[in-house]
Amino acid sequence: MERNWLDIVSLILIIIGAINWGLIGFFNLDLVSTIFGTMSMITRIIFAVVGIAGIYSLVLFWKLKAE
């Protein structure tokens, strides 16, 4: 399977989201909200983009499964 730039960016965003969720679970620390403010516009955009990357990862999953 060839990876394009969207696949790589999506995986990076998923990793960032996973790390943030790990910090929330282990230390009750939402790093994105700490840096950019609680539910500020930038924070909401970051969460939305990471969520879109998660949905796009379903496409990656099907690409891997098809091989």
Query: What are 18-38's pLDDT values in tens digits?
Result: 999 999 999 999 999 999 999
- How far is the C-alpha of 64 from the C-alpha of 67, rounded, in Å? 6
Residue 60 contacts residue 15 (beta carbons within 8 Å): no
| The pTM of the whole model exceeds 0.75 | yes
Q: Which residues contact 53 (CB under 8 A, 6 or more apart)?
A: 9, 10, 11, 13, 14, 17
pLDDT at site 67: 67
**Domain edges within the chain:** 5-66
Provide the pLDDT confidence category of residue 64 given band limits of 50, 70 and 90.
confident
DSSP-based three-state secondary structure for 48 = helix
